[in-house]
Structure 1
């Protein structure tokens, strides 16, 4: 039986990965600050995310380590939150690096989260693995620091992969998809801003399948865009959302309306206005097959 260790196992993506690998009959070990949210069947290991401890023993003799730890970016970017977002990614990655370096029998593969937000706002052309242009701003700086912390120490026996993930769509409470559905039911499911900004996305199933494929593919190393091959415009995304809840029309939101709305929702307009036009060049070229390449078909399931 193969073993996967998931840091941040009590978060949304941690649960997605846990359920998938449990169904595949893997032994799943979940590392988190508390057990609330950890999927049943996962062997839970507690850590504080700051210091080495007995949790490091869970990294010995395992096949795959996946690090998904990090504070949600769904918040206002005040100074305190900015530091928390940065530290929760960079410092936990550095901590795991220290732990892996001390292992006598370290994980064979270490897959670390990153984000497709690392690329610039793009409405002119898609950003692929080889020709994508790194952007600027707070979110981009976090992504760059995150990847630097991951790759800066060479662990010769450990294959490293950073996944630049797009928005993961799932029919699960308080995910992007279900929050948008709630807005649509209230009549607020129209385009946001111009509606022309691109939305790169991936289904929860394909996200988990991509993690498995990268873990099992001995040639996979470095950074990978983990996104569906068919991004959509915001206007088309919201049309899919409205269709999924049976709403024919939805009130569009101008930029000034979004500024007010995101202020009261304690989040940032960047999350909906930045054009993330990202394509999975490497995954496609190296043979990964998507189960859910099209948002319309996925949303109709």
Structure 2
């Protein structure tokens, strides 16, 4: 059916899914994009629909795939009422469970199954960084979701021929409407780009270009499995993070926001303050030790770079997303 290696992407119509789908299509892969609806799909590859919880004809696409990448899950950018809490958790657990069931019955199992997770798995950390090996799990709703998500993934009974990697991803930056970059840009442009809360919380982030390269790297390195953090080397404080936005926007004024102001703003925007107040100080030790090299390790440079790359088309028109140099890994004997 396909002439080239196949990459199957679940949640392909979401923010990250659109970029991954375009990236692999541009680099000669056959892409199967799977989502609950076509809305938001980039138009790259073959589209298949699913409901995110039951087996269906889509499962045939997993046969012999080079990689299966699962990004499915209800957005966390909402108020955490009872209904949304259930949707956030169950959409992730159900999708992961049924993908595992599909892989388990494959005659030719996929080589690699990458499941999205989140840097929010770790505790609020202002004292020391949390890495892939020694980081401490956190408490609260978001951490519980992350733990349940990973439990479903690592509990899936699939063939040992399929390598399993859970990516604990930091905030992915791209100049895309309604994403973190866009929201912070607009706040900064209005003079509201000061520190949030104490300003001492760390920000775990990664430039979209490095995220795409990191996924390439993980697929290409047969020694990486289990937990892999995907964040940039520099984890700035919120006060510095917002200063980088002010410098890029060209807005010298940045009014600080106290907790009560953030609570009010979050209520008006139908989101939660945890998304900006939790200190995520998460390091990608395993990627670094495996030989991955970031192109955008400094937050200020990354924020400035994305100014000139608006939207999906603008990002790839700039030449980003090419896989050359992404698979910079060495055999175990030379590491």
* TM-score, reference length from structure 1: 0.98
Post-superposition offset of 1:270: 0.5
| Residues 103-134 of structure 1, C-alpha deviations (whole Å, 9 max, x = no match) | 11121100000000010000011001111011
Partner of 1:97: 100
Kindly state the Cα deviation for residue 240 of structure 1 after the two structures are TM-superposed.
1.2
Please show how residues 146-165 of structure 1 align to structure 2 within 5 Å. 146-155=149-158, 156-165=160-169
The more displaced of 143-152 and 19-28 is: 19-28
Which residue number in structure 2 is paired with residue 244 of structure 1? 248
Q: How does 1:108-147 map to 2 (within 5 A)?
A: 108-147=111-150
- Could you tell me which residue of structure 1 aligns to residue 233 of structure 2? 229
Q: Using the alignment, how far apart are the partners of 2:262 and 2:302 within structure 1?
A: 27
Offset at 1:264? 1.0
One of 260, 264, 267 as aligned partner of 2:268? 264
How far off is 1:158 after superposition?
0.6
Q: Aligned-pair distance for 1:41?
A: 2.3
Matched residue, 1:179: 183
SS across alignment from 1:232: coil
Q: Does 1:198 align with 2:186?
A: no
Q: CA deviation at 1:50?
A: 1.9
Tell me which residue corresponds to 2:58: 55
Q: Does 1:213 align with 2:235?
A: no
What 5-or-longer segments of structure 2 have no aligned partner? 306-335
Aligned length: 301
**1:129-168 residue CA offsets vs partner (Å, 9 max, x unmatched):** 1110111000000000000000012422210000000000
In the aligned structure 2, how far is the partner of 1:15 from the partner of 1:239?
Answer: 29
Aligned to 1:22: 25
SS at match of 1:107: coil
TM-score for both structures, normalised by structure 2: 0.88
The alpha-carbon deviation at position 51 of structure 1 amounts to 1.2
Counterpart of 1:280? 284
Instruction: Map Cα deviations across residues 25-45 of structure 1 (whole Å, 9 max, x no partner).
Output: 111110001111111222101
Deviation >3 Å, runs of 4+: none
